[in-house]
Amino acid sequence: MTTNVPARAVRVRYAPSPTGSVHVGNAHTALFNYLFSRRHQGRFVYRLEDTDKSREVEGAAETQMAQLRLLGITWDEGPDVGGPYGPYRQSERSHRYQEALERVEAAGRAYRCYCTPDRLAAMRAEQAQAGRPPRYDGRCRHLSEAERTQHAGEPHVLRLAVPDSGETVVADLIRGDVRFQHSELDDFVIRKSDGTPLYNFGVVVDDHEMAITHVIRGDEHLANTPKQLLLYEALGWEPPLFAHIPMLLAADRSKLSKRHGATALVDFLEQGILPEALVNYLGLLGFSPPDGREMLELDELSQVFDLARVQRSAAVYDPKKLEWLNTQYIKTWPAARVAERVRPQLAARGITPEDPAEGPPAIDFVGAVDLVRERAHTLVDLAAGMAFLYAPVVTYDAAGVAKHFGPGASERLRELAAALESASDWSHDALEARYTELAAQWNVSRGALIHPTRLAVTGTTVGPSLFACLAALGPSLVIARLRRAAQWIDEPLARPSES
Ligand code: GLU
């Protein structure tokens, strides 16, 4: 099996239907096409399969394109960017399908079928009862000229006359040869009674006319491929090469669906997954780079992508792995890059770092990201972890309150505030030394000072090094928060209801 660069310049396509927002499965297909086109300096075509108006969702076509762009996936030709092989919307290509349909019919490769829906339903019921697969019995294929004349003007569909014997072999670039016996294939419908083509026909005309060299799509389409190959043959066209990429399955090996959590691209982004992490994750779903690297951004994936290294078996979608990758990006990117990405998540919490509700802290925004990012798995976590630097602490973690805000805590916090007021050096190390000193002086453990302090100044019981947090907040915020917490402890009736 070879996936060497073909003689013709590579042209691939992604052909979604505008029926909703982009699902991970579609993003996976779009990404593999994009990567293949980039790897081979080819062209990537975006084609809109928008002929089924009953399933179309208003605005979905534009939304889907915008969502893919969020991942950095772009195309060279498409409904929005144009190109030499347009139009790129199937709804604008009907005349092309009509021409081709007439040609297959005139060549005697397809025939009009006048069977009524009732007859077809009865036939199917009979086949089901006899335990046979549903199949058109070919009645109209063998009508005489006289019979045809009799039917003229009646509603009809056009069916492809599939050869009775022999086989069609799909020489798939990933799966190898997949054989389909003609005896197993129906004389399938290529034109509906309303004159419009069916999916398999439209796709063949478009792929041919758009000079597509490689059809890379999900393997749920494998069963369509022999039909499409028969159409290429009937139309006298050279078919493209086919590569059916593995379907995405959930961990329980069922088809990935809503009940497995987020499946739409936007859901992931809303959960604070970086587009780069998502691309990285999807790029390695069913594909493994030769050097076994795990962290690759779009450009790096484009350099190593190879259909020969795409697995045949289904790829299991694992949200933990995605989160792990996301964590790695948040940890290892330059903090300034992460900082720009977390802004929207902070904004969603009403936080503008340059104009904080309380502060400003003693560190800059990039420093704040650096302080907090160690424990963040997502941008949502990161923004949550950063909030204490820019907004007042209004609630305290309940388990923390039970543990650290008990009897004597308010006095302790006031004593700490007073002791810190005289601190001249507000660095991490000096603060740490001061706490050690105070613990010895008051004859308590360091923890007995550290835990209530953290709860008072951050509202939580976990986070980065406390002394780094105190240094970052600066003396006035820390001292004010210690006093505010003491007051909160002393005046339970004055607290806003915590519902
Ligand atoms: N509109 C089809 C889909 O979204 C495209 C199939 C193909 O790539 O041929 O599954």
CA of 286 to the centre of ligand 1 (A): 19
Query: Is the per-residue pLDDT at 5 higher than 90?
Result: no
Query: Is the per-residue pLDDT at 168 higher than 90?
Result: yes
C-alpha span between 43 and 11 (Å, rounded):
5
pLDDT confidence bin for 6, thresholds 50/70/90: low
Residues 12-32: what's their mean pLDDT? 95
Q: Pseudo-torsion of CA 196, 200, 206, 207, nearest 10°?
A: 180
Q: pLDDT per residue over 335-369, tens digit each?
A: 999 999 999 999 999 999 999 999 899 999 999 99
Q: Does residue 23 have its Cβ closer than 6 Å to ligand 1?
A: no
Residues 481-495: what's their mean pLDDT? 90
Long-range contacts, stretch 76-85, CB < 8 angstroms, 24+ apart: 76/37, 76/43, 76/44, 76/45, 77/43, 77/44, 77/45, 77/46, 77/210, 78/45, 78/46, 78/47, 78/48, 79/46, 79/47, 79/48, 80/46, 81/46, 83/45, 85/45, 85/209, 85/210, 85/211
pLDDT of 1 reads 42
- Percentage of the chain beyond pLDDT 70 is 98
Give the residue among 242, 237, 187 at the shortest CA–CA distance from 219.
242
pLDDT of 481 reads 98
Catalytic residue numbers read 258
The DSSP result for 173-228, as a single string, is: TTTEEEEEEGGGS---EEE-TTSPBPHHHHHHHHHHHTT--EEEEEGGGGGGHHHH
pLDDT confidence bin for 42, thresholds 50/70/90: very high
Q: Would you tell me how many other CB atoms lie within 10 Å of the CB of residue 333?
A: 16
Q: pLDDT per residue over 279-288, tens digit each?
A: 999 999 999 9
Q: What tokens appear for 17 in the block?
A: 């239907």
β-strands 189-191, 176-181: how paired? unpaired
Give the residue among 299, 287, 205, 185 at the shortest CA–CA distance from 246.
287
Q: Are residues 187 and 136 in contact, defined by beta-carbon separation less than 8 angstroms? A: yes
pLDDT confidence bin for 438, thresholds 50/70/90: very high
pTM: 0.92
C-alpha span between 464 and 24 (Å, rounded):
34
Q: Do domains 93-245 and 398-494 have the same CATH topology?
A: no
For 334, which DSSP code? -
Which residue's CA lies nearest to atom 4 of ligand 1? 16
Instruction: Give me the sign of the Cα torsion angle 302, 304, 306, 310.
Output: negative
Q: pLDDT per residue over 128-137, tens digit each?
A: 999 998 899 9
Give the residue among 459, 457, 436, 458 at the shortest CA–CA distance from 448.
436
Range name among 1-5, 311-315, 349-353 with the lowest pLDDT average: 1-5
C-alpha span between 40 and 10 (Å, rounded):
7
Which residue's CA lies nearest to atom 1 of ligand 1? 16
C-alpha span between 285 and 251 (Å, rounded):
13
Residue 367's Cβ-side half-sphere holds a number of Cα atoms within 13 Å equal to 12
Q: Which of 55, 170, 215, 221 to mutate to test the pocket of ligand 1 (most atoms within 8 A of CB)?
A: 221
Instruction: Give me the sign of the Cα torsion angle 361, 363, 369, 372.
Output: negative
Residue 113 bridge partners (DSSP)? 157
pLDDT of 208 reads 98
How do the domains of the chain map onto residue ranges? Answer: 93-245, 398-494
Q: Are residues 306 and 3 in contact, defined by beta-carbon separation less than 8 angstroms? A: yes
Neighbour-count burial for 42-73, b at 16+ CB within 10 Å, e otherwise: bbbbbbbbbbeeeebeeebbebbbebbeebeb
- Percentage of the chain beyond pLDDT 90 is 90
**Can you tell me whether residue 40 is helix, strand or coil?**
coil
**Can you tell me whether residue 470 is helix, strand or coil?**
helix
Residues 314-336: what's their mean pLDDT? 95
Range name among 22-36, 112-126, 485-499 with the lowest pLDDT average: 485-499
pLDDT of 498 reads 53
| Backbone phi, psi, residue 222, to 5° | -55, -40
Q: Does residue 240 have its Cβ closer than 6 Å to ligand 1?
A: no
Residues 6 or more apart whose CB falls under 8 angstroms from that of 315 comprise 246, 247, 248, 249, 285, 286
pLDDT of 2 reads 46
Q: pLDDT per residue over 60-82, tens digit each?
A: 999 999 999 999 999 999 999 99
pLDDT of 400 reads 98
Q: Which atom of ligand 1 is nearest to the CA of 16?
A: 4
Residues 272-299: what's their mean pLDDT? 96
CATH 3.40.50.620 fits 93-245, yes or no: yes
Cis geometry, peptide bond prior to residue 87 (ω within 30 degrees of 0): yes
Give the residue among 313, 318, 218, 219 at the shortest CA–CA distance from 261.
318
Range name among 122-126, 248-252, 265-269 with the lowest pLDDT average: 248-252
pLDDT of 254 reads 85
Q: Does residue 16 have its Cβ closer than 6 Å to ligand 1?
A: yes
Q: What tokens appear for 96 in the block?
A: 């092309």
CA of 460 to the centre of ligand 1 (A): 49
Average pLDDT of the chain to the nearest whole number: 94
pLDDT of 499 reads 46
CA of 17 to the centre of ligand 1 (A): 7
Residues 267-275: what's their mean pLDDT? 94
The third-level CATH classification (topology) of the domain covering 398-494 is Arc Repressor Mutant, subunit A (1.10.10)
Q: Which of 11, 89, 203 to mutate to test the pocket of ligand 1 (most atoms within 8 A of CB)?
A: 203
pLDDT of 496 reads 67
pLDDT of 54 reads 87
Element (H, E) at 172: strand 167-172
Q: Does residue 203 have its Cβ closer than 6 Å to ligand 1?
A: yes
